[in-house]
Structure 1
Amino acid sequence: MRSKQELQSTIRGTGRAVLVVNVRSRRGRRLYDTARDLLREAGLDFARVFPVTDPGRLGELFEEVLALEPDLVVVGGGDGTIAEAVGHLAHRDIALGVLPLGTTNNFARSLELPVDLPGAVGVLRDGKVADVDVGWFEGTPDGDAGQAGKHIFANMVSIGLSVHVAESVPHDLKRVIGRAAYALTAARLLPRHKAFEATIRIGDDTYEMATHQLNVANGAHHNGQRIARDASPDDRLLAVYRLGDRRRLRLASATARHVLTGQWRTLDEDAFLTTDEVRIETDPPLRVDVDGEIRGRTPMTIRLLGNALRVIVPQSFVDT
C-alpha cells in the first residue's frame, strides 16, 4: 500500500481515474451532464466513464472497474451506490471520490463533503486522501431475499421500522420531495408496527431493551441528520443506539430529538453504546437493512474495520 501522500501525488499526476455515475439516482440523471462539465473544468480526466442505468449491475460493473487498475474511482449516486463502491474498494490501494447525488447522502455528509455538486467537485480537485473506517456485517442468511448475510458497509446497519420504510417508500415520491418521503412513509406505517425485544452483547456486558428502531452506525449521519457532534467514520467506534422504547409515540419523540439535538449531543451520553464489535439478537428475528439494502436477518454480529477505506475528503477533515 502506498502512503496517503504517495497516492495523492499519483492521482494529481499521472494516475488513472474512473468515473461511475448512477443515472437512476435522485439527481444522477438530471445532473450527469453538469457533473461531466464541472469535472472537466476542474481538470479531472477519466480513463473510462460508466453511466449506470441498471443499479442491479453495479457489482458486476465494479469488477470491470477494478480490472482497469485505477488510482481513483469517483462515484456519483446515493448512499446505496456509494455503499456498493465501498464494498469493492475497501482494503485496496485505491481512493474513492464521492459525488453526492442521492436523497440523504449520509456517507458524504459523514466525510464532511459539500452536498452541492460544485462543492463536491471542488473537494475532488483540492482535497486530500484519508483513511476511514468501515464496518463488517455478518447476519443470518435471508432465504427470501437470497442474501448471503455477510457484507462490508459504509454507514449504517438498522433493524425495525426503518426497514419497512425503506421497502415501502414510493420511488416517485422520494424523487419529488427528497428526505421528507421517508418521514411521510414512516408516519403511515408506524400505527401498525410492532415493537421487538433486542439483546445486545458487547464484550462481557449484555443489554436488554425493547424498541421499534435500533441502529448501529459507523458514520456520523442518519437520514441526513448528525447522530452526535463527535461521531465520525474515522473514530474507530461503532455507535449502537435505539430510538424510543416499545411505545410508538416514544419513537416519534425520540426521532424528533435526534433531528433537533444530534449536532450538540456526544457519544458519551447514555443514549449510545460504543464499541468495535457487537452481537445483536432480536425477538422475533428481523430483517436487517445494511446501507439501504436487506442483507440478512438477526441474530447478527457487526465489527469495525479501522482505516480500511481510502477516500478523498476536504483538507479540513481530521484524519486519524
Structure 2
Amino acid sequence: MITRNDRQVSDRRAEKEAIEREIKGIRRAVLIVNTRSRRGAANWSEAKEQLLQAGIVLDGVYPVRNAEKLPDIVRDEIAKGQKLIIVGGGDGTVSSVARHFRDRGVVLGLLPLGTANSFARALGIPLDLQGAIDVLVDGKVADVDLGTINESHFVNGSSIGMPLIVGRATPHVLKKYFGRAAYALVAAGKFLRFKPFLCVVTASGVEHVFEALDVRIASGGYQGGVLVAREAKPDDGTIMVQILTGPSKWTMAKEWGRRAFGAPFGAANTVCLKAPEFLIDTDPSQHVSVDGEVITQTPVHARSC
C-alpha cells in the first residue's frame, strides 16, 4: 500500500532529481562570498576562477564584507530565478541565509571558508576549495533539516554554556590568524569564572532536569569543528539536545580534553535526547547562540522544520 507519506517522499525525490538535472544542464550559478569569514577574502577570487574553469557560468559574483547584506543579496537572486546559489563562508554565514532556500526549489551550494565549518563537516563536504567545488560540479542535491530557536533558523547547531561564552569572546582577528586554536586560547581565560547551571528540557510534555555544564541543540554532529554529537543527523526530521552534566567544571575540562583527542564524551556525564521539538529553560538565564552567533537568552523553543 502506498501511503500519503510515501507519495510525499516520492514527489520530493522527483523534484530533487529535476532540479539536479536542470542545474547540471544549464551550468549557471551565482557566487556570494562573505569576505569577513576566515578564508573568504583570500579565496573568493580563486573560487571564482576555479568555478569558471569547471565550466560554470557565473551570472553574478558578490564579495561581501558587510555580512548583514548577505540575506538581501540571496533573496534578490532567488527572485531573479537563479537555481544554484553558491555561498562561501562559515557556519554563521550559512545560518544567516538558509531560511531563504526553504521550499523554494533553489539549491544552496556551499564553499566552507569559515573557521570551524561544522555544517560542511556534518554533510561530508571537503574543506579544501577544490574538493568543495568538485562537489558543486559533480555532486547530488540533498535535503537537510532546518532548525529553529524561537524564530531564528539554524543549519548545524545551537549552544548554551561554555562553548558559547568562548565563541562570543573570541575576536575575529584571532580566528583569522589562529583558526580553531583561537577558541582554546580564549577558553583558558574564561574557564576559571565559569559555573554550572540548572537546565530544564521538556519534550512531549515530559520534563528532564539537569545540573548542566554545556548544552548543545544539534541538527549536525559538529561543534567548533569537533565531532561532539555522533547521534545527530542533519536529515532525519529531529533535533538532538545533548547535555554535559555534573556539578564541577573540571568534568567539562576533562570531557572537552577527550574531544580534542578525538574521543567521545564519556557516557556517564552525557545525556542525549532526540525529538522534533523541545522547550529549554535554565536558572540563571543563559545566552543562546545559533551557528556561532548569540541571538537570544533562555527560555527557548527549539524545533526541526
Q: Please give the TM-score of this superposition, normalised by the length of structure 1.
A: 0.85
Report what 2:223 is aligned to.
Answer: 222
Shift in alpha-carbon separation, 1:265–1:73, aligned structure 2, 3 A: farther
Distance in structure 2 (CA, Å) of the matches to 1:245 and 1:264: 13
Amino acid at match of 1:224: G
2:137 to 125, 148, 166: 125
Residues 286-301 of structure 1: pairs in structure 2 closer than 5 A = 286-301=286-301
Report what 1:208 is aligned to.
Answer: 209
Number of equivalenced pairs: 292
Give 1:14 deviation, angstroms: 2.5
Report what 2:90 is aligned to.
Answer: 78
Give 1:262 deviation, angstroms: 5.5
Distance in structure 1 (CA, Å) of the matches to 2:175 and 2:113: 13
Residue 271 in 1 paired to residue 271 in 2? yes
Please say if residues 136 and 152 of structure 1, whose CA atoms lie closer than 8 Å, have aligned partners that are also in contact. Answer: yes
Report what 1:168 is aligned to.
Answer: 169
Instruction: Provide, for residues 86-131 of structure 1, a one-character-per-residue CA deviation record: whole Å limited to 9, x for no partner.
Output: 1221222111100000110000111100000000000001100011
Residue 90 in 1 paired to residue 102 in 2? yes
Report what 1:60 is aligned to.
Answer: 72
Give 1:264 deviation, angstroms: 10
Shift in alpha-carbon separation, 1:219–1:66, aligned structure 2, 3 A: same
SS at match of 2:62: strand
Distance in structure 2 (CA, Å) of the matches to 1:173 and 1:155: 23
- Greater fraction helix: 2
Instruction: Provide, for residues 129-163 of structure 1, a one-character-per-residue CA deviation record: whole Å limited to 9, x for no partner.
Output: 0111111211xxxxxxxxxxx11110111111222
Instruction: Provide, for residues 189-246 of structure 1, a one-character-per-residue CA deviation record: whole Å limited to 9, x for no partner.
Output: 0101222110011113211111231111001211112234453211222121123423
Give 1:270 deviation, angstroms: 6.1
| Unaligned runs of at least 5 residues, structure 2 | 1-11
RMSD (CA atoms): 2.1
Give 1:256 deviation, angstroms: 2.3
SS at match of 1:281: strand
Report what 1:113 is aligned to.
Answer: 125
User: Sequence identity of aligned pairs in percent?
Assistant: 38
Give 1:265 deviation, angstroms: 9.2
Q: Please give the TM-score of this superposition, normalised by the length of structure 2.
A: 0.90
Report what 1:199 is aligned to.
Answer: 200
SS at match of 1:21: strand
SS at match of 2:88: strand
| Unaligned runs of at least 5 residues, structure 1 | 139-149, 306-320
Give 1:32 deviation, angstroms: 1.5
Report what 1:4 is aligned to.
Answer: 16
Distance in structure 1 (CA, Å) of the matches to 2:46 and 2:27: 24
Shift in alpha-carbon separation, 1:156–1:229, aligned structure 2, 3 A: closer
SS at match of 2:18: helix
